[in-house]
Chain A
Amino acid sequence: MEITMEYYLVISTIMFFAGIYGFITRRNLLAVLISIELILNSVDINFVAFNRFLYPDQMEGFFFTLFAIGISACETAVAIAIIINIYRNIRNIQVKNLNKLKD
């Protein structure tokens, strides 16, 4: 059995759709954010696997993953700041209670 690129793609597909499932069903804002983290991570695995198996002498996948990790760190920081602000205002971070933009 040789480990080919398809194995990596299948793993990242499962991770991606676990993230989709969590994004649809969870109702805590932080749990939704964790699901988004899973989705971003699976895309990173895809980039790296394509780079290593299809174009091993180029570096595009490597750098896309590097920048994607940085951007997802940014996104998490800002989202958590917003969530903590919401918690300070309505003492709750369930999605169903968020029906006002400003009060």
Chain B
Amino acid sequence: MSITLPQVVFLFLATVIVIFSILTVTTKRILRSATYLLFVLFATAGIYFELNYSFLGAVQLTVYAGGIIVLYVFSILLTSSDSQKVEKIKNSKFFAGILAAIGGAAICIFITMTHSFPVSHFVPGELNQKVIGTALMGTEKYQYLLPFELISVLLLACIIGGILIARKR
């Protein structure tokens, strides 16, 4: 049994995702939590690249790693004071959380493993940029102009809302 390069890459990304997503929610310090989230997002972008969706990986890198994490770090530095850095977890909360997480994960993984999906195998092939562009700008079946416009309006509303909520009175 030989291990090929894609398998090594996948195993590496999977390990990074599993370890850091658990560390994200178990670490006590909020800034470390944001940093671990950054690693998880990087590994997710790696998964998109590995599945031959380069455009999606690039979007993930620019929007999440470049935008959202910076926003998180700014707001953590703005809102944290020394007394609140370490938070304790109540025992009842801890058991409720761990029960929900492990029970749910066990059920979901069991169903995933026992359910027989239709024949699935990896089909390589990069999505052409032109194909993405026409699908994003067309109005016919399987084309996405309406959600694209909707999301532009949503982003505008979000900018205005953010300014209105956070401005000084």
Contacts and interface: CB of A to CB of B under 8 A. Distances in A.
Contacts of A67: 144, 147, 151
Interface in B13-46: 14, 17-18, 21-22, 24-25, 30, 33-34, 37, 40-41, 44
Contact of B112 (A10, A15, A53, A59): A10
Interface in B92-115: 93-94, 96-98, 100-102, 104-105, 108-109, 112-113
Interface of B is mostly: helix
Given A37-B68, A87-B79, A22 B123 contact: no
Interface in B30-67: 30, 33-34, 37, 40-41, 44, 47-48, 51-53, 56, 59-60, 63-64, 67
Contacts of B104: 17, 20
B21 A25 contact: no
Contacts, number: 214
Given A48-B51, A56-B125, A62-B127, A77 B162 contact: yes
Interface residues of A, number: 69
Given A25-B94, A78-B158, A19 B25 contact: yes
A38 B37 contact: yes
Contacts of A66: 56, 59
A55 B94 CA distance: 40
B72 A30 contact: yes
Interface string B139-162: 000101001000100110011011
A22 B47 contact: no
B165 A81 contact: yes
A34 interface: yes
Given A34-B33, A52-B52, A20 B100 contact: yes
Given A45-B44, A60-B142, A93-B79, 11 more contacts: A8-B47, A13-B105, A18-B22, A22-B97, A38-B25, A59-B135, A63-B135, A71-B154, A74-B154, A78-B162, A87-B78
